[in-house]
Structure 1
Amino acid sequence: MKVLEFHELRAEDGLRLLVDGAIDERAALEPRLEPLLNALEAHAGEWMPDVVEGKRRRKYSRAAISKSLEEERDVGSTSIGLYRTRAPALDMTLSLGGTTSPAELEISVALQPLSFFSGAARCQEFIEMVRAWARHVLVTYAMAHGMADRQLSGAPYFGRDGRTSRKDGFDTIYEVFWLNVFGPKLVEMVGRERMLSTPAHLVEELPNGSVLLVLWPTAADFASEEARVVQARAHVHLRPDLDFDTVLSTLRERSAAFVPVEPRFHPDVAPFLSRLPDEFSIGERQRKIAELNAFRPPSPEEWLPAALPSDVENPERVLADYGVLSEGLVAALHTQVPSIMDETPESLTDLDFYFWRENFPERYKRELVDGHTAPALGAYLGELLVRRLGGTWVPRQKREESQVRVGHRVWLPFLRARRYMQSRQSLLDYSLTQLFKDAAKGNAGENA
Structure 2
Amino acid sequence: MKTLTLHDLDKVNNFRFTMGGTYDPGNGLERAVVPFLESLEMYADGWMPTFVKASRTRKYSRDAVGRALEERRQEYGTIIGLVRPEDPGVSLVLNLGPAQERPMLKVSLSVQPLTFFGEVDRCRKFVQATRAWASLYSPDYAVAHSDADMHLAKFPSFGRERDAWMRDGFDKIYELFWLNIFGPELVASVGRERILSTPAHLVEELPNGSVLLMLRPTAADFDGEEARVVQARAHVHLRPDLDFDTVLRTLRERNAVFVPVEPRFHPDLAPLLTRLTDESGVTTRQRKIAELNAFRPPVPEEWLPVAHPSDVANPERVLESYGDLSEGLVAALHTKVSSIMDETADSLTDLDFYFWQENFPERYTRELIDSHTVPALGAYLGDVLVRRLGGTWVPRAKMEESQVRVGKRVWLPFLRARRYMQSRESLLEYSLTQFFKEAERYRP
Taking structure 2 as the reference length, the TM-score comes to: 0.96
Displacement of 1:367: 1.7
Distance in 1 between residues matched to 2:220 and 2:337, nearest whole Å:
36
Residue number in structure 2 paired with 1:5:
4
Q: Match for residue 389 of structure 2?
A: 389
Matched residue, 2:259 = 259
| Structure 2 counterpart of 1:15 | 15
1:430 maps to 430
Equivalent position of 2:90 in the other structure: 90
Q: Hey, what does 1:305 align to over in structure 2?
A: 305
Please tell me the residue identity of whatever aligns with 2:312. V
**2:109 aligned partner, one-letter code:** V
For each residue in 1:1-45, what CA deviation from the matched residue of structure 2 results, as whole angstroms up to 9, or x when unmatched? x24435569942110111112122333322221211111011002
**Equivalent position SS for 1:275:** helix
Q: Does 1:55 align with 2:55?
A: yes
Go from structure 1 to structure 2 and tell me whether the alpha carbon gap of 1:391 and 1:156 turns closer, same or farther (over 3 Å shift): same
What pairs with 1:275-354 in structure 2 (closer than 5 Å)?
A: 275-354=275-354
- 1:194: which partner in 2? 194
Q: Counterparts of 1:409 and 1:3 in 2: how far apart (Å)? A: 48
Q: 2: distance between equivalents of 1:220 and 1:278?
A: 22
> What amino acid does structure 1 have at the position aligned with 2:119?
G
Secondary structure at the residue paired with 1:13? Answer: coil
Unaligned 5+ residue runs, structure 1?
A: none
The Cα RMSD (Å) is 1.7
CA contact 2:22–2:105 (8 Å) conserved in 1 = yes
Q: Which moved more, 1:93-102 or 1:7-16?
A: 7-16
Say which SS state the counterpart of residue 145 (structure 1) adopts.
strand
Structure 1 counterpart of 2:155: 155
**How many pairs align?**
443
C-alpha distance in structure 2 between counterparts of 1:301 and 1:3, whole Å: 44
**Conserved 8 A contact 1:3-1:83:** no
The range that moved more, 42-51 or 187-196, is: 187-196
Indicate conservation of the 8 Å contact 1:143/1:177, yes or no.
yes
Shift of the alpha carbon at 1:164?
Answer: 4.6
Give 2:135's aligned residue.
Answer: 135
Q: Give the aligned residue type for 2:204.
A: E
Deviations 1:373-429 (A, max 9, x none): 122111110110011111111112222111111010011111111111111111111
Equivalent residue number for residue 72 of structure 2: 72
In structure 2, give the amino acid aligned to 1:429: E
Contact 2:18 2:142 in 1 (8 A): yes
In 2, Cα distance between equivalents of 1:341 and 1:407: 25
Q: Distance in 2 between matches of 1:192 and 1:355?
A: 57
Residue type of the partner of 1:425? E
The corresponding residue for 1:35 is: 35
Q: Which residue of 1 aligns with 2:183?
A: 183
Cα separation, 1, equivalents of 2:344 and 2:69: 50
- Range with bigger deviation, 341-350 or 173-182: 173-182
Query: Shift in Å at residue 167 of structure 1?
Result: 4.7
Unaligned runs of 5+ in 2: none
Which letter does structure 1 place at the counterpart of 2:165? S
Paired residues of 2:370 and 2:418 also in contact (CA < 8 A): yes
Q: Which moved more, 1:93-102 or 1:377-386?
A: 93-102
Q: What TM-score do you get using the length of structure 1 for normalisation?
A: 0.95
Asked whether the 8 Å contact 2:310–2:395 carries over to 1, the reply is yes
State the SS of the aligned residue for 1:318.
Answer: helix
State how far apart, in whole Å, the 1-side matches of 2:108 and 2:167 are: 19
8 Å contact kept, 1:52–1:65: yes
Read off the aligned partner of 1:210 and give its amino acid letter: S
Match of residue 268 from structure 2: 268
Rounded to whole Å, the distance in 2 between the matches of 1:28 and 1:129 is 22
Partner deviation per Cα, 1:201-243 (whole Å, 9 max, x = no partner): 1111211121111111111000100001111112222222222
1:305-348 CA-to-partner distances (Å, cap 9, x unmatched) read 11112222222222122112111111111111111111111000
Residues 423 and 166 of structure 1: is their aligned pair in 2 closer, same or farther, counting only changes over 3 Å?
A: farther
* Percent identical residues: 64
Look up the equivalent residue of 2:262 and give its one-letter code.
E
Partner Cα distance (1:158, 1:378) in 2: 49
